[in-house]
Amino acid sequence: MNLPSSPSGVSKIKANAIQRFSNLSLATKLMLVICSGIFAIFIFLSALMLLLSHKNNIADQKRQGDEFLKSGLNIVREEMQYISGIADYMGLAQDIQTMITNSNNGKSEITESDTLTAVSSLKYAVSIIVYDKNGQVLDYSSIDGSSGPLDQTISDPLHPLSSIMSEKKSFVWQYIPANEGSFMERDFSPKLCLWKRVQSSKDRKTIGAVAVSVDVRKLLDIGPQLGPVYSSIIIVNEENEEVFNRTSVSLDNDTISRLNNLGSASGTQVTIGNNNYWSFSARIANTDLRLFYLLPFLDFRWDISSFAVYTIVAMALFMSLLIPLFLFISKSITKPLNKLTISMENFAHGDFASRVNFHHHDEVGRLGDVFNTMVEDNQRLINSNYVLKLKEKEAELATLHSQINPHFLYNVVNSIQWLAMKNNDQEVAGLIYSFGRIFQSILGTKQKMSTVRQEVELLHNYLKLQKQCYGNHFDYKISVENGVGEIYIPKLSLQPLVENSIAHGVHGAQSRQEKIKIRVNIYLSPDGKMINLEVFDNGPGIKPDILALLPDKLPSPGLGEKSQGNRLAMKNISERLKHTYNGQHTFTIESIPYEKTLVKIVIPVIYTDELANGSGFAENV
């Protein structure tokens, strides 16, 4: 017996399918996704268009049926209002009032009514009959050849005259079939008859009635302007009798009964014979008649306007779905490429630990593996060459340092100074003293930190020597805020910057015959937690391509390449700051040729020499 797949089995199948798809080539992925998306979209749009078209078709048919039904009702209402107007006119005519009053008073002499003759000449009402209060016929007219109007019995409570004479109603509409036998002896036309009371013009009491009728076969026969309404309307009464029908639909009593049972529901499907119709119906006010509009049911149909609308909607919907799909596809394909690009850029900018991690093995995944291998090989090369070269340089410097006896050098410098003073050469003696102090500051201690006071003293001695060399080609000013002298800063963090200003600035000043201004500013931040070190000059500045790489992006000298101390001074300072303060510092450089070159270092304030041995700066300092 085959057991259903377990959830874990389904998950494995799904995972395998995803893995296989991920391992496909990019071209295959793109083709499969786009083709599948387009196919799914077109299937969806086709189904949606068919559904919307069908619903719109039904809505159009119902809207058309409601409009035609209203048109038919309006026409019937206008005809009934016209007949009611004739009845009102007859009831107010003086000769009709006199005729009825004489009959009610027992006078046997009844004169012919001129009003009845005038109205009959209009050839609209098929018959007009005048009754007294007892239902006796006093006068009539007929234009269809019907004759012999019959007296009516008002004692029958169901008869319209009974309701009128008892003043329960002022008028009653009644459908009277042809040759019905109770209205006229010879009656050739099916009639819609309005029974209307006649009130005395003196005391407004009911004195009689008039019956004005119209041939129902001509009720809606008002010309071609009615269009399809005329040929689609049926009128029936509550006795399930067909009153008016100019359609091709044949109705029997059962069918009429089914239509009447629908009530006033509009837009209902009915089956008559072998055909389906939309049935729209409404009761004709103040009558027992109901008007139906039968519209052949069309299950599906197209027209040019609907097709155009659907086409535009489909295109818009297709584009709105396709664009996000293409964006998703593009993102899924380019995301690993962007990731690889960022890693390569980081590597190019000095991040030799940059790696990419792809879980699939398509072209991009294999390219990422190659990149990772290249980075690892490069890292090994750096470790085996560059680090070795640095160690060799450090060993060389240590050897040189150990070979020179600082005390011997100090004694030599002091001897030269005393010799200059013995010969009264105070200027040379001062220079020798400054040189000795510089020599002592650089070689006299192995500590990596010194105080602001010590660094400023070094600057004064160094600038005094440089001033002797370059004369009036530059001047300088050192401004130190009170109270910062004992703050510790990295050793030789200012002298290389001033040296750069002199080395590059004085050369440019000599060519332009201008004097270079060098300013050194040392001050605390407003909160007292940071100290600012600024070196300013108005020399030729730094070239934009070099400025973009400063302070720490200049490439290190390769094997066999001659080191340029001035060019790499800022990089060395930047590396020392990073190592000392763990990133809790800023090192910025601005340069506008012959206007300003400003190097600014902002570091945390330290009043102890706990970092003098280079132990590093804690992250929470």
Q: Do 477 and 523 sit in the same domain of this protein?
A: yes
Q: Do 479 and 587 sit in the same domain of this protein?
A: yes
Residue 323 placed within a domain: yes
Q: How confident is the model at residue 512 (pLDDT cuts 50, 70, 90)?
A: low
CA–CA separation, 254 vs 261, rounded Å?
Answer: 11
pLDDT digits (tens, 9 = 90+) for 546-560: 888 887 776 655 444
pLDDT digits (tens, 9 = 90+) for 417-464: 555 555 666 666 566 666 666 655 665 556 778 899 988 988 888 888
User: At a CB cut-off of 8 Å and minimum separation 6, what does 325 contact?
Assistant: 33, 34, 37, 41
Beta strands in 190-274 (DSSP E): 191-199, 206-215, 233-237, 242-245, 268-272
User: At a CB cut-off of 8 Å and minimum separation 6, what does 613 contact?
Assistant: 447, 448
pLDDT digits (tens, 9 = 90+) for 292-301: 888 787 665 5
Domains identified in the chain, total number: 3
Residue 414 placed within a domain: no
221 contacts 183 by C-beta, under 8 angstroms = no
Residue 33 placed within a domain: no
pLDDT digits (tens, 9 = 90+) for 77-95: 888 888 889 889 888 888 8
Residue 445 placed within a domain: no
> 433: which 2 tokens?
């003293």
Residue 444 placed within a domain: no
Q: Do 163 and 280 sit in the same domain of this protein?
A: yes
- Tell me which H or E stretch contains 338: helix 304-348
Residue 17 placed within a domain: no
> 614: which 2 tokens?
């280079």
Report, as an integer, the average pLDDT of 350-370: 74
29 contacts 21 by C-beta, under 8 angstroms = yes
Helix, coil or strand: residue 283: strand
What pLDDT score was predicted for residue 565? 47
Of 296, 317, 342, which residue constitutes the final position of a domain?
296
Q: Do 308 and 341 sit in the same domain of this protein?
A: yes
DSSP state, residue 192: E
User: At a CB cut-off of 8 Å and minimum separation 6, what does 178 contact?
Assistant: 187, 188, 189, 190, 191
CA–CA separation, 212 vs 235, rounded Å?
Answer: 19
CA–CA separation, 232 vs 234, rounded Å?
Answer: 7
136 contacts 151 by C-beta, under 8 angstroms = yes
What is the Rg, in whole angstroms, of the alpha carbon atoms belonging to the chain?
57
CA–CA separation, 291 vs 339, rounded Å?
Answer: 75
CA–CA separation, 414 vs 470, rounded Å?
Answer: 25
Helix, coil or strand: residue 587: strand
For position 79, which CATH number holds?
A: 3.30.450.20
> 304: which 2 tokens?
């040019």
Q: Do 280 and 315 sit in the same domain of this protein?
A: no
Higher-scoring residue by pLDDT: 572, 601 = 601
83 contacts 125 by C-beta, under 8 angstroms = yes
Residue 434 placed within a domain: no
Q: Do 532 and 598 sit in the same domain of this protein?
A: yes
CA–CA separation, 560 vs 82, rounded Å?
Answer: 119
Helix axes 452-470, 426-443, angle to 10 degrees: 140
How many CB atoms are located within 10 Å of the residue 152 CB?
23
Of 258, 273, 296, which residue constitutes the final position of a domain?
296
Among the listed residues 64, 61, 82, 69, the one whose alpha carbon sits nearest the alpha carbon of residue 290: 69
CA–CA separation, 142 vs 341, rounded Å?
Answer: 103
Report, as an integer, the average pLDDT of 98-109: 83
Higher-scoring residue by pLDDT: 480, 288 = 480
Of 379, 398, 417, which residue constitutes the final position of a domain?
398
pLDDT digits (tens, 9 = 90+) for 118-174: 777 777 788 899 999 998 998 888 888 888 899 888 888 888 888 888 888 889 988
Residue 82 placed within a domain: yes
Among the listed residues 160, 143, 319, 311, the one whose alpha carbon sits nearest the alpha carbon of residue 214: 143
pTM score, whole prediction = 0.44
For position 543, which CATH number holds?
A: 3.30.565.10
Expressed as residue numbers, the domain containing 76 is 64-296
